[in-house]
Amino acid sequence: GQVSGSLGAAAAPAAPLARLFRAAAPPVLVAVPGEKKKRKRAEEGEKVSEDQSSSVIQELPVKAKKARKKERSEAEKKLSERENTLEQADEEEDQKLFLNKVKQKKKASQATTKSVVNPATGATAKRQKRKRVADETADRRTVFVGNLPVTCTVQVLKSLFKKYGQIQSIRFRSLIPAEDTVSKKVAAIKRKVHPNAKSVNAYVVFKEECDAQKALKENGTEIASGFHIRVDTASKTSSHDNKQSVFLGNLSYDICDDAVREHFHVCGDIVGVRVVRDNRTGLGKGFGYVLFENTDSVHLALKLNNSVLMGRRIRVQRVADKRKAQKNPDQSHAPKDRVDKTKKKEKSCSNDAFVGEKATPLKKSTKPKRLKTIPRSKAGKNK
């Protein structure tokens, strides 16, 4: 105020400047009418309605878009289903074609395998035929020598058969080892034979067939005391004549071939004697065969039926033909005596053999039957 007063008289009073440094006047409160709030609320409501209307306006195209999308999706689904069905049909056709191709390939492969197998089977058949032919030719060149003593060696057989031709090989068979653990080959090499075994068989193989036929002359020759050898071809074609042979039964188990030969040498010349033996023990099975040179010897041998040989009554019979027995098996098993007896029984049981007596029928009585009467006393009680 002093500064303002010192500036001059024409200056403005100091009051306005002093007001600047005075305390501020209290604020004046002015009452506001309530209509403004209502207006604000209305304005706010209008804004909300505008917003809602705008949202509705915005939602409408969104829903339309979704509906359109749904429609499109359904159409797309239908299209996709159609496409899938078409693809499945194409795949099925492709699979059918593939299966047909596979079947054709299999058929072709089977045909090729058959074509391959057939020559293979043909080759195997040819090989088998060749083996059979080779075996047959080998059997024709082979000679069976039976009833050899256990002490017989390869050198003895070579010295016996070398005069007929060149020998290819010699092998012993029907050897019975002394122990079960030892094989027959080892027993033949080491000569460990069962004590019950008295005879051995052998096979002599020649290089030529004619030499084997010549070696058959040694049949019946005596190598050692009590051992007459039996020489025959090993081929299956050499079949003995049943009309010239005899079957022997009830033989002793310890019997030798020479004992049978001595028993039947009275009947005629003997070609061979065969006693059937067990492969393990070498003992006889109780039966055998004798082959004669003539059929007349067979008739004489049949007379020795029930004769005693080594304490046993032997049975001598003709050798039955297997072919005839197969044709009529019923008649072959039944002897003639039984057939005659059955025929006699059939004749005795004929209708004319027995005549029965007729029975006399009983006479029936012609008297009428009386009815049973009930007494009065009983009848009253029953009532």
Q: What is the pLDDT of residue 11?
A: 47
Domain ranges of the chain: 132-233, 242-320
Sequential DSSP letters for 317-342: EEPPPHHHHHHSHHHHHS-HHHHHHH
Higher pLDDT, 374 or 318: 318
Percent of the chain scoring above 90 in pLDDT: 17
What homologous superfamily does CATH list for 242-320? RRM (RNA recognition motif) domain (3.30.70.330)
Cβ–Cβ contacts within 10 Å for residue 163, how many?
10
pLDDT tens-digit map of 130-140: 777 777 788 88
3-class state of residue 8 by DSSP: coil
pLDDT, the chain, mean? 74
Higher pLDDT, 59 or 321: 321
Sequential DSSP letters for 106-156: HHHHHHHHHHHHHHHHHHHHHHHHHHHHHHHHHHHTEEEEEEEETT--HHH
Which stretch of 13-27, 242-256, 263-277 has the lowest confidence by average pLDDT?
A: 13-27
pLDDT tens-digit map of 50-92: 665 555 555 555 556 666 666 667 778 888 888 888 888 888 8
Q: Which residue has the tokens 């058929």?
A: 107
Higher pLDDT, 308 or 127: 308
Distances (CA, A) of 29 to 25, 26, 35, 130: 12, 9, 18, 142
Determine the average pLDDT of the residues in 282-303.
90
Pick the CATH number of 132-233 from 3.30.70.330, 3.40.50.720, 1.25.40.10, 2.30.30.220: 3.30.70.330
Which stretch of 1-15, 19-33, 364-378 has the lowest confidence by average pLDDT?
A: 1-15
User: Residue 71 is inside which H or E element, if any?
Assistant: helix 35-140
Q: What is the pLDDT of residue 117?
A: 46
Determine the average pLDDT of the residues in 366-373.
61
pLDDT tens-digit map of 159-196: 999 999 999 999 888 888 887 788 877 877 777 787 77
Q: CA 104, CA 115: separation in Å to the nearest integer?
A: 16
Tell me if domain 132-233 and domain 242-320 are identical in fold: yes
Confidence check: pLDDT of 23 > 90? no
